[in-house]
Amino acid sequence: MIDKLIEKYCFEEYKTKEEIKYRIERNIDIDEFWEKLILARRNKGIETNLFDKSNNNYWFVVTDNMRKNIKYIDSKGKIPLNEMVLFDKEDVLIEESLSSSAIEGIFSTRSRFRSIVEDESKIKTKEDRMLLNNYEALQYIMSNNKNKLSHDFIIDVWKIIMKNTLDDVNFSEGYRRDKVYIGNASEIVFEGVDADKISLKMDDLISLFNDETNDIPSVIKASVFHYYFVYIHPFYDGNGRTARALTSMYLLKSNYNFFEFISISQMLKNEKGKYYKAIKNSENQEEDLTYFVEYYLDLLKRTIEYTVSEFAEKYFIKYLERGLIARNIHLNKRQIKILDKMMNNTNLTMTVKEYMKIFSVVQETARKDLKFLQDIGVMNSYLSGKTYYYRINNIEDIIKNNKE
């Protein structure tokens, strides 16, 4: 029984000691079980080249959840999104800048921010400047995402993020030279590593970023990078925004082209509690990065799902129509309307009779309309009884079919 529980809490459900305590039978001593579980997790885990403040080695377990999410992210995340989405790159950078800033409590409207991007003279407040800095830092990342990471590059990104926002000019020279505490008036939640250790720990982090020889999946390395950057807290301010920008850079460097056009921070801003809990769990639980890596991979997966869904609802029919027109293929108004309807409900099926009823057309017209959509690779059909049912293909297949 204990062996099964250990297997369960190693791979199926990765919980903290407090969470497990309320899930196991009362006759099992939680302290003894936890000791055995940690030993098993460490034996099954993968060590990193990163160390905590007490010089303990960080490690992680590749859980069942992580394997599923890696498979999904690898299947979707390496598709260049500009091949399937009509998002304007500037729109995405604006969304990422707004969302990343919102995590730090800095808010603005899209129209107000766009006006600042177009005309810097409209900056009126420190918050305006911080928003524009985030935008410019992301532009810099996009232009240099194939570069090797270095101390100078990290500091350059941070300087862009913090430009004209620091009250103390001494804070703008690079890594901090004093302690930093995160918390409020009554409680210190987190303390960054000692200032004299920052450069050495950043050396290790840079080595992880630039190392292309180890077998750790890239999305796991991106998660570990993000966690450790925040853990070091190398700057007095702007660490979260710098970490998010550099993590995006690592994903692009690793050929996850999808992430050039999506805002990870858009999802993150709505669940700051979960994000900080995942960081805290990995900080407090035996140097175990699994908690944060599991969370971050799930965040990446959900970000892709959200983006594809939003694309399907808002842009895909126009994208498809534009591509077809370029090939001298034209859809009629009925076909566009039915595709729009089915794109918003991908489980929906359509029969010739239903099509006739919706558009008040004769059987032959309905059949030709649907058959045409099947012939150009937008729909597929299956026979059930004596009736053919048509349904829309998934987005990736439609794009592939219309490139051939």
Residue 357 is predicted with a pLDDT of 94
210 within 8 A of 232, measured Cβ to Cβ: no
* Residue 228: per-residue pLDDT: 96
What is the structure's pLDDT at 11? 94
C-beta contacts of 323-329 below 8 A and 24+ residues apart: 323/402, 324/376, 324/402, 327/402, 329/376
Is 361 in contact with 44 (CB distance < 8 Å)? no
Global pTM? 0.76
What pLDDT shows up at residue 79?
A: 63
Full pLDDT tens readout for the chain, 404 residues: 788 999 999 999 999 999 999 888 888 999 999 999 999 999 999 999 999 988 999 999 999 999 999 999 988 777 655 554 445 555 655 666 555 555 556 555 556 656 666 666 666 677 777 777 877 888 888 888 888 999 999 999 999 988 877 765 555 578 998 888 776 555 666 788 999 999 999 999 999 999 988 788 999 999 999 999 999 999 988 898 899 889 988 998 888 877 776 667 767 777 888 888 898 899 888 899 999 999 999 999 988 887 777 666 666 777 777 778 878 888 899 998 898 888 777 788 999 999 999 999 999 999 999 999 999 888 999 999 999 999 988 877 777 776 65
What CA–CA distance (Å, rounded) separates 30 from 34? 6
Minimal CA–CA distance to 399: which of 79, 73, 91, 89?
79
The β-bridge partners of 47 are 59
| CA distance linking residue 111 with residue 96, whole number of Å | 15
Cα separation, 197 vs 148, in Å, equals 22
**What's the length of the chain?**
404
CA–CA distance, 376 with 329 (Å, rounded to integer): 9
Distance CA(7)–CA(281), nearest Å, equals 20
388 in helix, strand or coil? strand
Buried b (16+ CB within 10 A) or exposed e, 21-39: eeebeeeeeeeebbeebee
| CA separation for the pair 284, 262 (Å, rounded) | 31
DSSP string, 185-253: SS-EEEEPPPGGGHHHHHHHHHHHHH--SS-S-HHHHHHHHHHHHHHH--SSS-HHHHHHHHHHHHHHH
Closest-CA residue to 81 (of 343, 304, 332): 304
Name the helix (H) or strand (E) containing 141: helix 126-143
